[in-house]
Structure 1
Amino acid sequence: MLSQTSDGWVLAAWFDGHPGNYGPSSTLQPLHPSESILPMSMRFSRPRCLTAMSLVLALTGTAGAQQATSTATQVAEMANVGDEIVVTARRSAEKAVEVPFAVSVIGGQDITEARLQNLSETLLSVPGVDINASGGPIDYNVRIRGVGSLYKVSADDNSVVLNIDGVALSTAFLSLGTLDIERVEVLKGPQGTLFGRNSEAGAINVITAKPTQTTEGYVRGEIGQEGHRLGEAAVGGAITDQLSARIAVRYNEADNWVDNARDGKPLTTMSDLAGRFSLAWDNGNGTDALLTVEGQRAKGYLNMILLRPYGDDPSLDITPGAFDENKRTAGRYSAEINHDFSFARLTSITAATTSDYVGWKAYDTVTYQAMYGMPMEYLVRDSSKETGLSQELRLASLPDSRLFWVAGVLGTHSDLSFDTRDPLQGQQRFRDFTSKSIGIFAEATYPLTDALKLTGGIRQSHESKDYDARYINTFTGTTTPDTRDLSDSYTTGRLALSYELAKDTNLYTTLARGYKSGGISYMATSVSDSEPYKAATVNSLEIGFKTAPVGGDFSLNGAVFLNQIKDDHILKYDSATFAMSVVNADVRSIGAELEGSWRITKGLVLNAGLVRVNSEIRDNVLGLTAGDIRAGNKVPDVPGWSANSSLAYEGQVSDAGLAGQPTLLNARVGYRWVDSRPADAQNNFDLDAYGEVDARIGLSSGGSEFYLWSSNLFDSKHDVYGYGELAFTVFSIHQLGAPARGRVIGIGASHSF
């Protein structure tokens, strides 16, 4: 079953003997696509990775003799159609069917079988979620139901908040691998009441596997085309009657799918090393604690800018090794303490985060010649370091209480540097940001009758931001300083009514207000560019239903929604001067969605979702070199229609197998269809519709499985992203973007105990 262990802590660091030298600024996110080249990676030591793997395998062998149910099996049982799904979408455990807004849940087994390698890929399996990114590890502009920044303008310009084990993070952390995940909850609609700022479109709640008193674990490995390699293992169990631990580690690598035209080799080899250690204590008398240390290092990722069309064999004409310095590390450390009183649960979550990255971004010679008439490379280096601290205290009703309620306070502090070196323009820009926030929140659901419930929630927040910068012209030797101080106080909240039409079938309507902070562009090139931009607000209406009969063969959720966004953020980019500033525009999003599961037979399950969204810009934004944005333009990268589906089968094929256990056939086919959508806010051109199929088939027996897999089985050719920019050679718009990876086939094996 799913239990309330979602709020924990995490902190991580993989330091190769050099503390603080590496760590991704997960908070840094690209602004305009042309400036979103924030490739990052982290140095890692393969021998150390293998040593860690060997340790886990050794522990696995030691514990393998003990009888236990694997985490994967537990998650599978939780995710089965007809099981009661419990979520922590409102910071306390409750049935998903009773939450008065849409929540999509992806179980750990589904993530593994669908081979969703990171959180970004996992989100794309959810109906109504769109991600604009160009391939870098911190380059994620997430939109839910068409709500999100038109172009990201700063690291904290997020419309969706990411929450991992109770710790709030930037969506730049979506590059984190899905290592030892119990489930992912996607909360749709404004979530500012309980999750605070920058959640005007929704929230992502990630719950990792926790230590238990049962010895359990798994090991998994894969090899495939284009240099794909993966090794992953986890083991956990009791240390004493009150103390338990769990360790998980993963190494993953693959060749870049875009080649270097000069040597014919992949641009980079992309690799990730990640690990997590958790220590849990439970005194058996209502008090428990969880300590977590988690880290990731990545290397070889880059934000790709190619001239469209890409051709059959996409490539960049650039000096080999231009992106060798691209590196990123991320660290998160957390401590969670819970104590149960007779009437409520008290939770404290203390967290620290670190991040560090270096990323080169570039126009290759082909692109630069097309844009400016000269066959030369244009390279810019970004680097960033960030540290963050947070403390949350909250009191919540117990899971079986008739009245649901939660109240608390959250304080955060962040220090961030974001520096740019632009040799061609003779510019160096050094920017330092300090931000502090505090929020007080409360929400309750009161039963007006046995069937009718009223929900009300409110949050009062205050933020302050300090900005210090130096803009240096290396040609003239002049330095221009810049200092800004900002502060803001605001209120968010929601009001909802829900009605139990029948057992495990609810109707609901929700009104919510969300907020996205104002600030200063992290890509400002001068004092005039750093003029603060306005905060964005959203008013949202959602009407929906949920039905998930316990023990039944189906579940179905549906909703219609309307979002009115005021002063959303757009990066104003001048391709002649490379200057960047920020403007605001209103947006409206209206649509409907349907999502469900059906157990067709005992071993055959269908999951499907369909979304219709009409999201448009409501203001004119004039004077952009790529063209004017006109009222009525569609929001970029948001398809009018999209659909997700998967068909999974498990059945016995033989009574004989490993250790006398029967042999099972496991098969899964997933399909994602995306309608055509505008590439940029100017609606200069559309990205074509596409459909992508992933497949996996395997044989399992006695906890072991061997399988064959394919990503993009039918080799669909489509864009990851795109945008138009003015080419000064012809004074017309050229189309830029990046292609998606083509078909990859591989094999894998796993064992769980």
Structure 2
Amino acid sequence: MSYPKYFAPATGRRTDALALAIALALAPCAAVAADAAPDAEAAAAVDATELPTVTVSARLGQERPKDVPFGLSVTRGSDVEAGRLLDVEDVLRNSPGVDVNSYGGANDANVRIRGVGSLNQVSMDDGSVVMNIDGVAMSVRHASLATFDVDRIEVLKGPQGTLFGRNSEAGAINVTSRRPTREREGYLRLEAGQDGQHLEEGAVGGALSDQLSGRIAVRNSGSDSWIENANDDKPMVEPRETALRGSLLWDAGEGTEALLIVEGQNTRHKAGMELLRPFGDRPSLDLTPGVFDGNRKDTRRYSLQIDHELDASRITSITAHTRADFVATKGYDRRITQALYGMPFEYLVTDSSDERVSSQDLRWSSLPDAQRFWVLGANWSKSERSFDSLYLGNGNLQRRDFDTDGYAVYGESTIPLNDAFKLTGGLRYTNERKTYNGLYFTGGSAAPGVSDARRVDEDYLTGRVALSYALNPTTNLYSVAARGHKSRGFNDYSTQPIDSLPYKAASVDTYELGFKHESADRRLSLSGAVYLSEVSDDHLLGYDFNTMAVSTVNADTRSKGVELEGQWRLAGGWSFGAGVSYIDAKITSPATGVSGGDVAAGNRAPDIPHWSGNLTAGYRRELPTFWGLSAPALNFRLDYRSIGSRPADPQNHFDLGGYQKLDLRVGLENGPAEFYAWADNLTDERYDLYGNYSSPTVTTGVPARGRSAGVGFRYAF
């Protein structure tokens, strides 16, 4: 058996990419046909109304998506709720060109955008995508955080190191929560469904004084695992999550305001699980009941943002501190060890980590809607993190501590060349110092330990240049070239000093051509892009069977592809959204000594399908009064997601079949109240989420949940 283990998506039906592309093209036509009957007067009224302007913070300011000179996807808070996208991972899986490798734990996410990202994630610090929550950078390993009371989630595609810093070679994720307002407002949401699924969520906010506004939001949720314990026929785990966010907005006058946010989330009993394939009709594990009951993860975020407007510019300061503590047991059950070694036993490892990150970002920028966009800034961050591993069978223990100090200065500007052309240029200089201290014990902490200490220093430049052209007032064309970087570091799985040699930095050069269209009434938006990314020295975990050393191996990759994404809001209550992505991602250099076997040049990058896409259809119609309801209305939403086949691992030992997933939500509104029913995986598609190659005759993985359904209630005020 190789260590560490990896989990990747596994087999299912092959996706019909042509059918997906046709569905994308024909969706508007279907909408027109379905809408032929609505009342003409009502339709005219809808047509005459413009939708609110959508803005994004993709460049640390407020812009319309059409004006941002690179690819991005935006999911509004209303779509997060209506689509029942309960955490950031769910949102990413519904974003074209984004792939998430996560085997079910609260700290396992490895995100790739457009085929760029670690082939195997070698440490918590080895992220190719940075996640920013209300302007505060956090590891993408926290993508399991709940999406409650959010305003929008942006996925920025392509290297984002210019403005968002380290470990954003593939892109960035911006999560923006709802800010306090002067108006008293809020909502309550309740859900109950099969497999013990439940959700209780609410928020309330408004003015607290003449200058102070506040908002508080809370969520409590849980479910039973669809994977059973073979010893008692009960769910292996019953995950529970509780999250709370409080925010205060102080209007200090004279163009100055301060936003204080305090947020925390506690996750219990969530576990990454690995099963022997095939799983059968009732997936189960042969483990001691309660083995995952100690799994937990606690995250905290404290931030203070101060904005001060000058005559023609703005100064912004964001001071933040985040904490993340987790304990997670994982490993092989008796069935897997029986298949591998001919004897059944539990092979379990408990990982634990404490992380503390303090940061300060100070920037000076242009105001929204300024003719010339510009931003200048400086950033400081300090991270202190541990990652310890205890092997429950033999008592071997590794204690590891990682410290990172980083400093950066950055700037970007967009300059109009004439009425149609704009030139964008940006650059960031970063200096980092990382230290590692390890202590390795054989047979428990009472035995003499072997110590290890190392340090690396690194400075690097990231940047981009873009040219955009306004074809007309509603359509922009753009081209962009960008350089991204993923810094050096130390792997999280060292078992002896030879393991802890620092791994190389990774870098990427990306070239993109695209267009963005937004109609004058903002009812139709359409964007598309073609791109090429060339990565040097991305990361895989290596394993030496002779010395049992765990190291990091580097390999080059190349990805190219095309994306198309759009939304259309029609008269008569119909709305459509769709996205389709084609990615050709390959490993372009050989890698030897890798866990699971050598990797050949020309192999496909793992977990990345050639074709993937999504289609959403929504409808809302007011109804005549009935049953005493004064203002009834019917709504429904249908979400379809299609994922093509993809390799299970960098060695391409086996392919993971594609799958198609269909979700439905139907609601009955009456004024501010709504009762609704939902069905997840409506067709009961049985597909594998992840897969792992252990031997020519043994493969493992994690199955997806089958069909489940439930009901809900929402009240807004």
Shared fold, TM over 0.5: yes
Contact 2:536/2:556 (<8 A) preserved: yes
Q: Does structure 1 conserve the Cα–Cα contact (< 8 Å) formed by 2:6 and 2:692?
A: no
Q: Does 1:602 align with 2:545?
A: no
How many angstroms apart in 2 are the aligned matches of 1:386 and 1:733?
39
Secondary structure of 2:239's counterpart equals strand
Alignment correspondent of 1:666: 635
**3-state secondary structure, aligned to 2:649:** coil
Which structure 2 segments of 5+ residues have no match? 9-45
More off after superposition, 285-294 vs 549-558:
549-558
Alignment of 1:434-583 (within 5 A): 434-474=403-443, 477-573=447-543, 579-583=549-553
Shift in alpha-carbon separation, 1:723–1:33, aligned structure 2, 3 A: farther
Q: What residue identity is the alignment partner of 1:738?
A: V
Whichever residue aligns with residue 504 of structure 2, its letter is K
Q: Percent identity?
A: 48
Partner of residue 647, structure 1 = 617
Do residues 272 (structure 1) and 272 (structure 2) align?
no
Cα RMSD between the aligned structures?
1.8
d(CA) in 2 for partners of 1:88, 1:342: 21
Tell me by how many angstroms 1:575 deviates.
Answer: 7.2
Write the distance in 1 (CA, Å) between the matches of 2:545 and 2:227: 25
What residue identity is the alignment partner of 1:500? A
Match of 2:707 in 1: 743
Match for residue 43 of structure 2? Answer: none
Rounded to whole Å, the distance in 2 between the matches of 1:158 and 1:606 is 33
1:119 corresponds to 2:88: yes
Partner of 1:52: none
Question: What residue number does 1:344 align with?
Answer: 313
Residue 313 of structure 1: how far off its partner (Å): 0.7
Aligned to 1:147: 116
1:296–1:36 distance in 2 versus 1, CA, 3 Å: farther
Change (3 A) 1:164 1:172: same
Deviations along 1:164-223, one digit per CA (max 9) or x if unpaired, are 000000011111111100000110000000000100100000100010000000001000
Relative distance call for 1:400 and 1:624 in structure 2 (3 A) is closer
Decide which of 699, 719, 726 is 2:688's aligned counterpart.
Answer: 719
Deviations 1:645-687 (A, max 9, x none): 1001111122458773x21111000011000000100000011
Alignment-mate amino acid for residue 373 of structure 1: G
Q: Is the 8 A contact 2:7 2:690 kept in 1?
A: no
* Separation in 1, partners of 2:354, 2:227: 28
Taking the TM superposition and a 5 Å limit, the aligned residue runs for 1:322-471 are 322-471=291-440
Letter in 1 for 2:252: N
* Counterpart amino acid of residue 723 in structure 1: N
Map of 2:75 onto structure 1: 106
Once the two structures are TM-superposed, the CA of residue 538 in structure 1 deviates from its matched residue by 0.2
| 3-state SS, counterpart of residue 262 of structure 1 | coil
Q: Aligned residue for 1:163?
A: 132
How far apart are residue 723 of structure 1 and its match? 1.9
1:233 aligns with 2:202: yes
SS at structure 1 position matched to 2:521: coil
- For the residues of structure 2 that align with 1:604 and 1:32, how far apart are their CA atoms? 51
Q: Secondary structure at the match of 1:351?
A: strand
- Which residue pairs with 1:242 in the alignment? 211
Q: 2:261 corresponds to which residue?
A: 292
2:250 is aligned to 281
Aligned-residue offset at 1:225: 0.2
Query: In structure 2, what is the equivalent of residue 315 of structure 1?
Result: 284
CA offset at residue 574 of structure 1?
5.5
How big is the shift at 1:625?
A: 5.5
Cα distance in 1 for partners of 2:426, 2:417 equals: 16
- How far did residue 83 of structure 1 move? 4.3
CA contact (8 A) 2:558 2:585 kept: yes
Contact 1:220 1:748 in 2 (8 A): yes
Residue 492 of structure 2 aligns with an amino acid whose one-letter code is Y
Distance (whole Å) between structure 1 residues aligned to residue 359 and residue 405 of structure 2: 10
Q: Find the aligned partners of 1:311 and 1:529 in 2 and give their Cα distance.
A: 38
Rounded to whole Å, the distance in 2 between the matches of 1:252 and 1:636 is 32
1:435 counterpart SS class:
strand
- Deviation at residue 114 of structure 1 after TM alignment: 0.3
Shift of the 510–433 alpha-carbon distance from structure 1 to 2, 3 Å rule, reads same
What secondary structure, in the 3-state scheme, does the structure 1 residue paired with 2:494 have?
coil
Instruction: Give the aligned residue type for 2:526.
Output: L
Amino acid at match of 1:516: K
CA deviation after TM superposition for structure 1 residue 426, in Å? 3.9
TM-score (norm 2): 0.92
> What SS does structure 2 have at the residue aligned with 1:269?
coil
Contact 2:4/2:493 (8 A) holds in 1: no
Amino acid at match of 1:422: Y
Aligned counterparts of 1:90 and 1:744: Cα–Cα separation in 2: 40
Deviation at 1:81, TM superposition (A): 8.5
The letter for the 1-side match of 2:246 is: F
What is the aligned partner in structure 1 of residue 223 from structure 2?
A: 254
Cα offset, 1:36, TM superposition: 7.3
Contact 2:541 2:594 in 1 (8 A): no
Q: Distance in 2 between matches of 1:470 and 1:532?
A: 16
Do the aligned residues in 2 keep the contact of 1:542 with 1:561 (CA within 8 Å)? Answer: yes
Matches of 1:125 and 1:613, distance apart in 2: 16
Instruction: Look up the SS of the partner of 1:367 in the other structure.
Output: helix
For residues 81 and 377 of structure 1, do their structure 2 counterparts lie closer, same or farther at Cα, with a shift above 3 Å needed? farther
Report the CA distance between 1:627 and its aligned residue. 2.5
TM-score by structure 1 length? 0.88
Q: How many residues are treated as equivalent by the alignment?
A: 676
Counterpart residue type for residue 596 of structure 2: A
- Secondary structure of the 1:175 match is coil
Q: Which residue of 2 aligns with 1:734?
A: 698
The structural deviation recorded for 1:619 is: 1.0
1:428 alignment partner AA: L
Q: Give the partner amino acid of 2:5.
A: S
Paired residues of 2:202 and 2:218 also in contact (CA < 8 A): yes
| Displacement of 1:374 | 1.6
What residue is the counterpart of 1:34 in the other structure?
5
Checking the alignment, whether the CA contact within 8 Å between 1:429 and 1:525 is kept in structure 2 is: yes
CA distance in 1, matches of 2:392, 2:67: 57
Q: What residue in structure 1 maps to residue 39 of structure 2?
A: none
Letter of the 2:305 partner, please give it: E
The separation in 1 between residues aligned to 2:558 and 2:395, in whole angstroms, is: 41
Residue type at the aligned position of 2:471: L
| Structure-2 change in CA distance of 1:104 and 1:669 (3 Å) | same
Compute the displacement of 1:529 (Å): 1.1
TM-superposed CA distance for 1:95, in Å, is 1.4
**Structure 1 position 283, deviation (Å):** 3.0
The amino acid that maps onto 2:433 is S
Q: Matched residues in 2 for 1:143 and 1:149: separation?
A: 8
Match of 1:684 in 2: 653
Partner of 1:71: none
Taking a change above 3 Å as real, the CA distance of residues 628 and 579 of structure 1, as seen in their structure-2 partners, is same
The alpha carbon displacement at 1:285 in A equals: 2.4
Q: Mean Cα displacement is larger for which, 637-646 or 712-721?
A: 712-721
Return the offset for 1:400: 2.3
Q: Within 2, Cα distance between the matches of 1:101 and 1:487? A: 31
CA distance in 1, matches of 2:568, 2:56: 20
Alpha-carbon distance in 1 for matches of 2:342, 2:470: 66
- Would the alpha carbon gap of residues 686 and 658 (structure 1) be closer, same or farther in structure 2, given more than 3 Å must change? farther
> Is this contact kept in 2: 1:32–1:571, CA < 8 A?
no
The code of the aligned residue for 1:597 comes to Q
Conservation of the 8 A alpha-carbon contact between 2:198 and 2:223: yes
> Is the 2:596–2:693 Cα contact (8 Å) retained in structure 1?
yes
